[in-house]
Amino acid sequence: MSALCARGRSGFSGCSRVLCAQLSTPPHQEQQAGTECGTTPVNLSAPEKVDNRAQLWSRYHEMKKLVYDLLPPGVCNLLNPATICANNEISLGEIEIYGFDYDYTLAQYSDMLHKKIFTTARDILIQQYKYPEGIRNYDYIPDFAIRGLHYDIEKNLLMKVDAFHYIQLGTAYRGLKPVPDEEVLDLYGGTPHIPLIEMSDFYGKVTIGPTMKQFMDIFSLPEMTLISCVTDFFISNGIDFDPVHLYKDTTDAIRDVHVKGMMYDWIEKDMEHYILHGEEVFAVLNRLVKHNKKLFLITNSPFSFVDKGMKHMVGKKWRDLFDVIIVRADKPAFFTDRRKPFRRLDESGSLQWDKINSLEKGKIYKQGNLFDFLRLTGWRGSRVLYFGDHLYSDLADLMLRHGWRTGAIVPELENEIRIINTEQYMHSLTWQQAVTGLLEQMQTYQDAESKQVLMEWMKERQELRSVTKNLFNPQFGSIFRTYHNPTYFSRRLIRFSDIYMASISSLLNYDINFTFYPRRTPLQHEAPLWMDQLCTGCMKTPFLDEMVHIR
Ligand SMILES: [Mg+2]
């Protein structure tokens, strides 16, 4: 049996198929088969009482031994956190033009930025919005929220929603405390399902009708935490408040931190601490230019901020690497609204009034729109690959309307893969899947004793699901999964990006002409005919040490 589980990437496939085979035949059917084949003596007298309970537990222990025996030592640590994952086949050899967003795409910021945004917005709430002094006792909680959560403004509930619009029970929080499942169900008419009409609009924003916002921005981590802390203060102190006001005031306070330039000031004054992996950004851009790729930048940030950051990461001559530079682009409107023409900025950052008839290398442009961009550059279709961290503001329109290829930067991926690589995760997930299989197969046992066993398994499964969820984040779990299903975030990620990765520097691990082939993972009605189908893209892409010659 161990031969089926040769170490390495293919080990799982063998294990999974053995598990499948073991699960596919309930014990009572095995018994009948044995009888028909004549391998068991036929007893024509009164049938012996079958101890279903003992049989079920026997199958359970067999399965447990199988799972642990078949997970070979070293099976963990299979995935490379610096991998690039493909949703769609894409050949870098066919990409002639590379575009980039700036914040959290080229410039990765350290987590200390979240703490600073939180503290500053909290103090704005106290000083300008006259919120109670007591909320100053709340400090930023780094691991409270995760990206992609939904927030029901009127019900004051922060929660994770899956790809089918179902709330993951156990992940609904009011303030800093979980809301019991029964209360959540009551609030939504007896179901954890959120009707489409109540969801946020296409870009995750709240429009006139819906009161549900999805937090997709990485900057929204301090925002979610601040809403939760202030709510906790009000509830703990028995203070009546309107959650709609709280949402608006908190959002405005966070926006003030951005719009009034405070955040830009902090970063500019301490780039060493705030900006991560600068030298790798230089290596990525330089390599692309050396291979005759065209580069452009479309960012919503102001030029002076981007200029300082790029000088820090890439050097004084960073502009020489780019063919077109657009700042204050106002994405996502940039991709859909034709009305704003490009304007040029001079070297001092002043707006020029001349009409823009071409986008020239070395010059800086502000605003504009994608339609003019396409007309002036001719950079259309699948020759262009654009990288951004915001699934809606950066990638959705490009994917759905314009046919550019898209790359999503998902910094959380690195930590999630590190967790997936742990032995604890591997064992609890595999055993959880095995228990799920046992439950599916043995549900035909309907006598009282068997039902009791099945209930115990159900309870164990639920505990295992919580254990695996909590490894990622004790409140909300992984950004990619709600127990079994993909999250709402994952669904959008798959829909709007051809490839995704933790950092732009992951590109350094791949040849300049590398083709990404997503694994053909089986659909629910398909059989895994080839072991490769059971592996994710991660497991097939090169490991850092194998590709070290490229860097
Ligand atoms: Mg960004």
SS3 readout for 16-72: HHHHHHHHCCCHHHHHHHHHHCCCCCCCCCCCCCCCHHHHHHHHHHHHHHHHHHHCC
Structure tokens belonging to residue 272:
């060493």
Tell how far the Cα of 110 is from the centroid of ligand 1, in angstroms: 14
Contacts 24+ apart (CB under 8 A), 22-31: 22/62, 22/63, 22/66, 23/63, 23/434, 23/437, 23/438, 23/440, 23/441, 24/441, 25/441, 26/441, 26/442, 26/444, 27/55, 27/56, 27/58, 27/59, 28/55, 28/444, 28/445
Q: For residues 321 and 375, what is the distance between their CA atoms, to the nearest angstrom?
A: 22
Q: Which is nearest to 533 in space by CA: 525, 541, 522, 524?
A: 522
Q: Is the dihedral of CA 483, 487, 491, 494 positive or negative?
A: negative
User: Do 496 and 409 contact (CB within 8 A), yes or no?
Assistant: no
Residue 101 annotated to the active site:
yes
pLDDT at residue 73, rounded to an integer: 65
Q: What is the DSSP string of 301-339?
A: S-HHHHHHHHHHHT-TTGGGG-SEEEES--TTHHHH---
Q: For residues 450 and 53, what is the distance between their CA atoms, to the nearest angstrom?
A: 5
Tell how far the Cα of 440 is from the centroid of ligand 1, in angstroms: 44
> Between β-strands 84-86 and 499-501, what pairing exists: parallel, antiparallel or unpaired?
antiparallel
Tell me if the bond preceding 332 is cis, omega within 30° of 0: yes
Q: For residues 408 and 422, what is the distance between their CA atoms, to the nearest angstrom?
A: 25
pLDDT (tens digit per residue) in 460-502: 999 999 999 999 999 999 999 998 899 999 999 999 999 999 9
Tell how far the Cα of 274 is from the centroid of ligand 1, in angstroms: 15
In the chain, DSSP finds a helix count (H) and a strand count (E) of: 19, 20
pLDDT at residue 473, rounded to an integer: 97
Which neighbouring-strand residues pair with 405? 385
> Between β-strands 90-91 and 177-178, what pairing exists: parallel, antiparallel or unpaired?
unpaired
Q: Is the dihedral of CA 294, 398, 536, 462 positive or negative?
A: positive
Residue 354 one-letter amino acid: D
Other beta carbons within 10 angstroms of residue 30's beta carbon come to 12
Tell how far the Cα of 195 is from the centroid of ligand 1, in angstroms: 29
Tell how far the Cα of 5 is from the centroid of ligand 1, in angstroms: 43
Residue 103 annotated to the active site:
yes
Q: For residues 24 and 20, what is the distance between their CA atoms, to the nearest angstrom?
A: 6
Tell how far the Cα of 105 is from the centroid of ligand 1, in angstroms: 6
Q: For residues 301 and 295, what is the distance between their CA atoms, to the nearest angstrom?
A: 18
In Å, how far are 6, 431, 450, 459 from 65, measured between CA atoms? 17, 10, 21, 20
CA-based angle 537:388:350, to the nearest 5? Answer: 165
User: Do 94 and 290 contact (CB within 8 A), yes or no?
Assistant: no
Other beta carbons within 10 angstroms of residue 160's beta carbon come to 28
Q: Which of 51, 69, 103, 270 is catalytic?
A: 103
Q: What is the DSSP letter of 135?
A: G
Tell how far the Cα of 114 is from the centroid of ligand 1, in angstroms: 15
User: Do 134 and 229 contact (CB within 8 A), yes or no?
Assistant: no
Neighbours of ion ligand 1 (CB under 5 A): 101, 103-104, 389
User: Do 22 and 62 contact (CB within 8 A), yes or no?
Assistant: yes
User: Do 166 and 463 contact (CB within 8 A), yes or no?
Assistant: no
Residues of the chain short of pLDDT 70, as ranges, are 1-49, 72-76, 200-210, 530-551
Q: What is the DSSP string of 169-205?
A: TT--EETTEEPPHHHHHHHTTTSSBPPGGGS--TTS-
Determine the 3-state secondary structure of 517 from DSSP. coil
pLDDT at residue 208, rounded to an integer: 57
pLDDT (tens digit per residue) in 331-390: 999 998 998 999 999 888 888 999 999 999 999 999 999 999 999 999 999 999 999 999
Tell how far the Cα of 300 is from the centroid of ligand 1, in angstroms: 8
Q: Which is nearest to 356 in space by CA: 320, 304, 367, 98?
A: 367
Q: For residues 471 and 410, what is the distance between their CA atoms, to the nearest angstrom?
A: 19
Q: For residues 503 and 507, what is the distance between their CA atoms, to the nearest angstrom?
A: 8
pLDDT at residue 532, rounded to an integer: 57
Determine the 3-state secondary structure of 148 from DSSP. coil
pLDDT at residue 344, rounded to an integer: 95
What stretch of H or E contains 468? helix 448-472
pLDDT at residue 4, rounded to an integer: 34
Other beta carbons within 10 angstroms of residue 49's beta carbon come to 6
Structure tokens belonging to residue 463:
């505990």
Q: Which of 51, 69, 101, 511 is catalytic?
A: 101
Tell how far the Cα of 388 is from the centroid of ligand 1, in angstroms: 6
User: Do 119 and 112 contact (CB within 8 A), yes or no?
Assistant: no
Q: Which is nearest to 388 in space by CA: 368, 411, 370, 371?
A: 411
pLDDT at residue 47, rounded to an integer: 55
Tell how far the Cα of 221 is from the centroid of ligand 1, in angstroms: 14
Tell how far the Cα of 273 is from the centroid of ligand 1, in angstroms: 19
